[in-house]
Amino acid sequence: MYKHFFKRCLDLILSIIGLILLSPLFIIICIWIKCDSKGPVFFKQKRVGRNKKLFGIYKFRTMYTDTPSEMPTHLLNDPDRFITKAGHFLRKTSLDELPQIINIIKGEMSIIGPRPALWNQEDLIKERDQYGANDLRPGLTGWAQVNGRDELEIDVKAKLDGEYVEKMSFLFDVKCFFKTITSVLKHDGVVEGGTGALKNKGDT
């Protein structure tokens, strides 16, 4: 019942409340982005949604407008040079993700779920198929996000998404939510220009 009805109801109610409460912060961030660099405030990117249906994810723009838009950050050569001054802070604090509240209201995303893959991240999409993780609405945050984020290898990330599929419940979502707050405050797992850094750290 939770998976098929109450989860979506909670997503809708909480995201509308969140959008209203966070509107002053949205305005401040929009002004900062416009003053910091040329270009639009928001950034839209093609991502993989529920049942592998593609949708446009919203973010605050954190990179210069000449950055390749369909390429994962870890594949960019020297990604730091593409990130704006405001962008460094927004990405470090995960504030760039806040516009995805709009995606949640539209029904394209959930508050908790596997993070949506880029349309061309075929390795991650294929791994998630093994666990049924592509059958869910992607999340603003998720179990893999609070257990390593950018530091995780693709297969480990997909396995954690599979664990979420198995354990999904109201209490497990609450656990993910509060672990996300802790992770954001501690900046856990944020590695610009790299994925699988957790494994790499162990190799050095």
Task: From 111, 181, 114, 108, select the one nearest 152 (Cα to Cα).
Answer: 114
At what angle are helices 122-129 and 154-167 packed, to 10 degrees? 40
- Write out the DSSP string of the chain: -IIIIIHHHHHHHHHHHHHHHTHHHHHHHHHHHHHHSSS-SEEEEEEE-GGG-EEEEEEE--B-TTS-TTS-GGGSSSGGGGB-HHHHHHHHTTGGGTTHHHHHHHTS-EEESPPPPBTT-HHHHHHHHTTTGGGSPPEEE-TTGGGTGGGS-HHHHHHHHHHHHHH-SHHHHHHHHHHHHHHHHHTTT--TT-SSHHHHHHH-
Is 27 exposed, middle or buried (CB count within 10 Å of its CB: 0-12, 13-18, 19+)?
exposed
**What is the model's pTM?**
0.85
pLDDT in tens, the chain (204 residues): 898 889 999 999 999 999 999 999 999 999 999 999 999 999 999 999 999 999 999 999 999 988 776 666 666 677 778 899 999 999 988 899 999 999 999 999 999 999 999 998 999 999 999 999 999 999 999 999 999 876 789 999 999 999 999 999 999 999 999 999 888 887 665 555 445 544 443 333
